[in-house]
Amino acid sequence: MNEKENFFVLDIGTRFVRGLICRQSDGPQVLEIVYSEIKEHETRAMRAGQVHDIEKVTRTVREVKESLERMAGAGPGSDFRLKKTALAVAGRNLVTCKGIARQERKTYETINENEIKRLELVAVQSALENINESDSDYYCVGYSVMGYKMDGDDISSLLDHRGSAVEAEVLVTLLPRKVLEAMFTVAEKLELEISYLTLEPIAALESTVPEKLKSLNLALVDIGAGTSDIAVVSRGKVLAYGMVPSAGDLITETLCTELLVSFDEAERIKRNLSAWMLESKERVEMDIAFSDIFGRANTKKLSELLGIIRPAVKGLAAMISQDIKKITPGFSREANGEAKNFAVVLVGGGSLTPFLEQEVSAELEIPLNRVGIRPVSLNPDIYDRTARLIGPDAATAAGIALLVTRNPGLALTHLSLNDKRVTVMSSEKNPNILSVLISQGITTRQIYGRPGLAKTFTINGKFYTVRGEAPRPASIELNGEKAALDTAVKEGDKVVFYPAKDGKDALKRISELESISLPKIKFNGRETLVPAKITINNHEVPFDTFIEDRDVILYSPIASLPEIFKYLVIDLESFSQKEMLVEVDGEETLLKSKNYYLKINGIETEYSPEIIVHENDEVEFGSLNNNWKIGDFVQTPPAGRDLRVKINGEEYVFPGGKGKILLNGEESSPDVTVRNGDVIETVFGQDAEAALVDVFRFISLDPREQSGKRIKLLINDVESQYTSPLHENAEVKVLFE
């Protein structure tokens, strides 16, 4: 196989992997499919268009690749290997953005394909510059041209025209890195280089809707196993892309639930239903056999099975129709009947689902004859030597191949940018560093920087200018060497980008102006320069105020007290009363006191922001250290009452508990200093309590004297137990009998 003429295409779907070996034949608009292979995933290794089990997906793709290698090889024992591939990914979590590129032409030579390609790429880069920061984890996977203009007028194609100004508008599509990284990992495991990457709805659109049909109002729906990708075209332009995270698997899962069968068995039943609906001219009732999860043989009437799946088909049609209405303005203006001018083209394996055409027609409220399935075989630009790509399920694979033939210069370059692996889409084999930076959302300002803005102002009527700082341009390294923006890069290169640094805007404080002299005062006995009384635009301002453009500044050598203190870096909060807020027994208590002294020219005064200080004034200022203690808030609470009793005629005292002060939960004393926010609690001493057994704290017994005798305990002459409580002035007798 001649790899210069032939290329390898992979369509890795949720249910099937399809591989093609193709070549361009009989002119630039004709595709020849030389070899074809298709394999089904053994398990649900992919779901909703996303790789879940990389190893299992890799195994299936390897089978397809090796089968094609055997077909295309020179014979038994050939060591021929496919090394590059073009592929598409599903539209799950699709992000779209529009970009426009305009170019003035200094030549009246005809516009060629390369010039158009460069214009489209600039439009793509323009769109990427507008991506939000939240979209930074997305890859650009393709774009569609929405339209061209030449000298201000719309035109369907720029090729071979002559004009002084051209314009291209594109719709760029992006997918999450996590979706693509998994696909890239599969390719790496197979030692395949992804030479071309696009999106499934773009590919399906390319193979199903030829250029001559794009003037119609069409909504293309590519229904796979896990996702339904949507592309809307009108008047020759692609208006929008959409995606519904549901497709043929919804029908399969319904059969699983209703019939209690495995997923594979449900898939077999569904395919039989689809095949019967397509092949049977007469809708004859018949029995369909299947086995449930217990291995029991079952049969269901065809009509019963169709009745089981019909609600799920209706639900899928509703989701697809809702997304079409959402992304297509025409469907939201039903009053003028514009929606009736649209037709819906169904492709993909899921398009063969029974009743889907009818349900989509009902949901969109358009005639049934405006909904239909369009197989790849209707495209005159495709010559399929294998005769295996005749149905709608081959739309994506054929579309990828067509895109490769029609956009030969559009390729992916994998390299490192600031130690992060990036993929760059370019119309040239080796894009330059500028293309790399723009494709990754790096703006012109990050590359070149912006000079700082100058400021002009007047001081007492005299005009002054302060210039802004010049920017520091970005610096770039390529593989460890300094490089320029127009330096070309290749696969595997390492680019390090240091962003430009904007020049700082002119920044000047009044205090930094040489034309303003400061008055002198004595502050705490030392001669000190202080700010003058200054107004900007008739508003008095502090001496360290920044000057803005076109300010009108007036000054005289007097200053307010707040300006002087701020200039001397004295905290203004120290000029207010000192406050202490504490919580005492659950209630907040606030104490206030003056904590500073202030004298002006020897006279003690209260602080006021209105005080004006003149040159040669003397100011004295200092702080007073006032500290509050616990005793300023509470005193130690009294102890509890003592308990007095007589034991065998002699008086004894059980002392009451002492009162306590708790500071933040810890026992403290009145002379301890309190801090703002502390919590103080007083705990009164508890009254003494005692039981009869406690009297033995005060008396002692000689066991030898009481040997063989019984102890008898009396409270107020009443015989009592050890646990009997004692009360004030109780008379206790301890006897032995």
Is the separation of the CB atoms in 391 and 348 below 8 Å? no
Average pLDDT over residues 7-34: 84
End-to-end CA distance of the chain: 124
Answer whether 33's CB lies under 8 Å from 383's CB: yes
Q: Where are the domains of the chain?
A: 210-373, 414-498, 508-626, 643-736
For residue range 632-682, list pLDDT tens digits in order.
Answer: 788 888 888 888 888 888 888 888 888 888 888 888 888 888 888 888 888
Helix (H, G, I), strand (E, B) or coil at 394: helix
| Cβ-contact 354, 272 below 8 angstroms | no
For the chain, the farthest-separated pair of C-alpha atoms sits apart, in whole angstroms, at: 137
Average pLDDT of the chain? Answer: 82
Q: Which residues on neighbouring strands pair with residue 9, listed in sequence order?
A: 20, 86
Which SS3 state, helix, strand or coil, does residue 369 take?
A: helix
- What percent of the chain has a predicted confidence (pLDDT) above 70? 87
pLDDT at 2: 47
Residue 223 near residue 356, CB atoms below 8 Å: yes
Question: Which residue bears the tokens 């409220």?
Answer: 365
Question: How many other β-carbons are positioned within 10 Å of the β-carbon of residue 350?
Answer: 30
Give 346's strand partners: 221, 373
Q: Helices (DSSP H) in 280-346: which residue ranges? A: 302-327
> What CA–CA distances, in Å, run from 425 to 128, 185, 219?
11, 19, 27
Same fold: 210-373 with 414-498: no
What gap in Å lies between CA 697 and CA 734, rounded to an integer?
13
What is the Cβ-side half-sphere exposure of residue 622, based on CA atoms within 13 angstroms? 7
Tens digits of residue pLDDT in 101-112: 898 887 678 898
Q: How confident is the model at residue 78 (pLDDT cuts 50, 70, 90)?
A: low
Q: Are strands 6-12 and 84-89 parallel, antiparallel or unpaired?
A: parallel
Answer for the pair 202, 221: CB distance below 8 angstroms, yes or no. Answer: no
Q: What is the pLDDT of residue 282?
A: 57
Torsion 295-301-307-309 (CA) sign: positive
Tokens of 87: 């592929």
Angle at 542 between CA 537 and CA 546, to 5 degrees: 70
Q: DSSP letter string over 622-660?
A: EE-----BGGGT--PPPPPPPEEEEETTEEEEEPPPPPE
Q: Residue 98 and residue 237: Cα distance in Å, rounded?
A: 13
What is the number of other CB atoms lying within 10 angstroms of the CB of residue 261? 20
Question: pTM of the full predicted structure?
Answer: 0.55
Say which amino acid occupies 169: E
102-145 confidence digits (pLDDT tens) = 988 876 788 987 788 778 877 877 787 766 545 456 766 566 78
For domain 414-498, is the CATH number 3.10.20.30? yes
What is the H or E stretch that residue 521 is in? Answer: strand 520-523
Confidence grade of residue 552 (pLDDT, cut at 50, 70, 90): very high
DSSP-based three-state secondary structure for 346 = strand
Q: Cβ neighbours of residue 254 under 8 Å, at least 6 residues apart?
A: 308, 309, 311, 312
Structure tokens at 707: 């040997």
Tokens 């203009």 belong to which residue? 149
In a 3-state reduction of DSSP, which class is residue 123?
Answer: helix
Is the pLDDT confidence value at 335 over 50?
A: no
**Other Cβ atoms closer than 10 A to 254:** 20
Residue 76 scores a pLDDT above 60: no
Mean pLDDT value across residues 326-332: 73
Q: Name, of 310-314, 397-401, 466-470, 571-575, the range with top average pLDDT.
A: 310-314
Contacts of 281 (CB under 8 A, 6+ apart): none
> Residue 187's Cα: distance from chain center in Å?
27
Q: What is the DSSP letter of 73?
A: S
What pLDDT, on a 0 to 100 scale, did the predictor assign at position 541? Answer: 87
> What CATH number belongs to 210-373?
3.30.420.40
Element (H, E) at 54: helix 54-72
Tell me the CB-side half-sphere exposure of residue 42, using CA atoms within 13 A. Answer: 10
Query: Could you tell me if 61 and 12 are in contact, meaning their C-beta atoms sit under 8 angstroms apart?
Result: yes
Give the HSE-up count for residue 255: Cα atoms under 13 Å, Cβ half-sphere.
Answer: 28
% the chain with pLDDT above 90 = 19
What span, in angstroms and rounded, lies between the C-alpha atoms of 565 and 544? Answer: 12
- Give the model's pLDDT for residue 92: 59
Angle between helix axes 302-327 and 263-279 (nearest 10 degrees) is 90
